[in-house]
Amino acid sequence: MKEILLVEKPGLLTTVQDLGRTGYQQYGVVVAGAMDSFSMQIANLLVGNRKDEAVLEATIAGPSLRAVRDIVIAICGGDLAAKINGKDAPLWKSVLLKKGDQLSFTGLKSGARAYIAIAGGINVPKVMGSKSTYLKAGIGGLNGRALQKGDVIMGSDAVKTSTIGRMLSPSLIPKYEKHMTIRIVPGPHEEAFTKEGIDTFFSSVYEVTPQSDRMGYRLKGPKISHRKPADILSEAAPLGGIQIPADGQPIILMADRQTTGGYTRIGTVITVDLMYVAQAVPGAKIRFQPVSVQEAQKLYFEQMRIMRQISVGAGIYDE
């Protein structure tokens, strides 16, 4: 275990995240984990980590970090104008950060969240099988909280440098647009809405409001009308679930959602489109499109296949 990074500025909200705390939802333990797990996994693969290793998730305004020793990093996801010693740092590419180098983020060009993977991973204790920070319960990550000025991030002793320069094929780099179409599998409470309500939902544009965070995205747009009460007996609330409370305005449930919820849901965002929601900023416009679960799973396989190819290309066999 070695010191690798000193936090000079924490940024707006920078936390340690992996794929989340699965297996404890029946006990009410929130999953948390990276909002954009695609970028998080690719960042890991580019530096030669297992794809489920913990990374730093920076939000909108990124941190300033000083390398305490030579390390290999990859930055993926949103373009938060990353700089190394003031010069543009490449995204979706594994690079060497030399002892004393400063990694900073100086603006927001596209997306909302950047993922910084460090070769060898981040050394924080696992809580219930995961290194993910869950702020509300104060568990995981760095003492259950976001990064603060003066924090020192610990890494692993053995650092592979053979991955330097490895990059994601440009054709596979996602583009984060301000107008997006998000595919959903309809249900399970479709019968709670009027036909007009469902038609409105699929034919209108919804705007991401500033009341959006790791727990959920509140959207605003034409009201989705119910024909049954908007409250239901509480049941499990899935990642990407789209709740419609009585006011008819959708809320997309994200990584830090509660495990159970008591509002009707009109659909669930498909896995491959979750990253675009995770990278949306307030003001972004979303249109929803229904797909079958079979179609969603075909897209899921395709994404898994791409990640497996990258893993194998990188000599990582973790499945």
Partner 1 sequence: MEFSIQPLGDTGIIIQFGTEISEAIYQQIRQYVYWLEQSCIEGIVEWVPAYTTLTVFYRPNIISYDELSQKLLKIGEKIESMPVPDPIVIEIPTLYGKEAGPDIQFVAETNGLSEEEVVKIHSSSDYLIYMIGFVPGFPYLGGMDKRIAAPRKKTPRSRIPAGSIGIAGEQTGIYPLETPGGWQIIGRTPVKLYDPQKQDPILLKAGDYIRFVPITEREYEKIEQQVLKGSYKVVKYKKEAAET
Binding site for partner 1 (CB under 8 A): 22-30, 127-128, 137, 139, 184-185, 187-188, 233-236, 238-241, 258-260, 267-271, 293-294, 296-297, 300-301, 304
Please report how close the Cβ of residue 186 comes to partner 1 at its closest, in angstroms. Answer: 9
Which is closer to partner 1, CB of 128 or CB of 164? 128
Query: For residue 252, which of 269, 231, 273, 230 has the smallest C-alpha distance?
Result: 269
DSSP 251-275: EEE-TT--SEEEE-EEEEE-HHHHH
**Given the DSSP bridges, would you call strands 265-269 and 206-212 parallel, antiparallel or unpaired?**
unpaired
Cβ-based nearer residue to partner 1, 238 or 282:
238
Instruction: Closer to partner 1 by CB, 128 or 154: give it.
Output: 128
- Give whichever of 124 and 239 is closer to partner 1, judged by the CB atom: 239
CA 250 to each of CA 42, 150, 180, 202, 273: distance values in angstroms, whole numbers, following the listed order: 30, 39, 16, 12, 17
For the bound state, the minimum distance from the C-beta of residue 135 to partner 1, rounded and expressed in Å, comes to 13
Q: How many CA atoms lie within 13 A of 303 on its CB side?
A: 19
Min. distance of Cβ 295 from partner 1 in angstroms?
9
Q: Based on CB atoms, which residue is closest to partner 1, 68 or 242?
A: 242
Q: Where are the alpha helices (DSSP H) in the chain?
A: 37-46, 195-203, 271-278, 293-313
Report the residue number, 31 or 89, with the smaller CB distance to partner 1: 31
Q: How many residues does the chain have?
A: 319
Residue the block writes with tokens 């794929």: 19
Contact assessment for residue 244 and residue 216, using Cβ atoms and an 8 Å cutoff: no
Please, what is the minimum distance in Å from the beta carbon of residue 270 to partner 1? Answer: 5
Rounded CA-CA distance 42/2 in Å is 24
The two counts, helices (H) then strands (E), for the chain are: 4, 20
Which residues are within 8 A (CB) of 55 and not within 5 positions of it... i.e. 6 or more apart? 16, 17, 18, 34, 40, 43, 44, 115, 116, 117, 118, 122
Cβ proximity to partner 1: between 3 and 302 the closer is: 302
3-state secondary structure of 288: strand
The answer, yes or no, to whether the previous bond of 222 is cis (omega within 30 of 0) is no
Burial class (CB in 10 A: 0-12, 13-18, 19+), 277: buried
Residue closer to partner 1 by CB (options 190, 207) is: 190
